[in-house]
Amino acid sequence: MATITNWRERRRVANAGRATPLRTIASGLAQIARTALAEPYQLAVERHAIGLKRLPRALDGLRIVHLSDIHHSPFTGREQVERAVEVANSLQPDVIALTGDYVSHEREYVQPCAEMLGRLKARRGVYACLGNHDNWVDADLVTDLFTLAGIRVLNNEGLRFEDRGASFWLAGVQDTMVGLEDLPLALAGSSADEMKLLLAHNPVILRRAARAGCDLVLSGHTHGGQVTWRSERSASGRVRRRILRGLGRRGETQIYVTRGLGTVVLPVRYGCLPEVSLLTLRCAE
């Protein structure tokens, strides 16, 4: 055993096993960093039942898998995207809804992303809208390659979704951040009394969707906050006004905001795991 010869060495040995505020802070920060770097490579399946008053009874139990914000890039690689596709398919959905931001900045990622998402399988098809990053990269390229991959891209358009002898209006809008959305055009052709399901990348559209009589909006964009330090509710217990993730509503219009799959700015997440959502539509009185 070494002989302690001066007071500095004596103090260092005495404090070696003692917790200090600085050591505690450093340990906490190291744990946060480890978690933030690991979370992007994890994947959670979120399951929700959503009651809709105008859902045709024949469509009660319709299963929708919702994916968004893939951000295929150096931050979100092929392995992560392929795993999300595999998980989505394993849920045996009736419909798959994709709500934008499939790539981040580089055009060369559009083709492989379209090929991977083209392997998605749903009994009644895969439908998509575009996000702000898709427009910044090349909206026409994304639309064309997704269409070739068998994905129906709804750019300010809608269709009457038919299944089991019943139907509802399924619409998608272009992104609000780039100012290209046209909700009236997307809803043109729908009837006033039928259920309307809207795919919109940015949840900021909720207010307008409620005024337009949409029943359910599926969105992404927020990444759930990506790095979150606070709960979904304020200290008073009330739900916070801005919907970053999960279920929300405005009047009779409900919205589901997914945390998405990828990341931007930095390849980190904290308290906000990547998500594949399974939404089961239910008839409500």
The number of C-alpha atoms within 13 Å of 62 and in the hemisphere containing its C-beta is 27
Per-residue pLDDT tens digits for 233-280: 444 444 445 689 999 999 999 999 999 999 988 888 888 999 999 999
Per-residue pLDDT tens digits for 134-154: 999 999 999 999 999 999 999
Per-residue pLDDT tens digits for 191-239: 999 999 999 999 999 999 999 999 999 999 999 987 886 555 444 444 4
pLDDT at 198: 99
Q: Which of 90-104, 169-183, 228-242, 260-274 has the lowest mean pLDDT?
A: 228-242
* pLDDT beyond 60 at 12: no
pLDDT at 270: 84
pLDDT at 267: 84
* pLDDT beyond 80 at 10: no
pLDDT at 94: 99
Q: Walk me through the domains of the chain, giving residue ranges and CATH numbers.
A: 43-283 (3.60.21.10)
* pLDDT beyond 50 at 39: yes
Residue of 66, 149, 74, 87 whose CA lies nearest to 115: 149
3 state DSSP class of 86: helix
Residue of 120, 73, 59, 133 whose CA lies nearest to 93: 120
User: Across the chain, what does the average pLDDT equal?
Assistant: 88
- Give Dmax over CA atoms of the chain in angstroms: 89
Measure the CA–CA gap between 117 and 86, rounded to whole angstroms: 10
267 vs 161: which has the higher pLDDT: 161
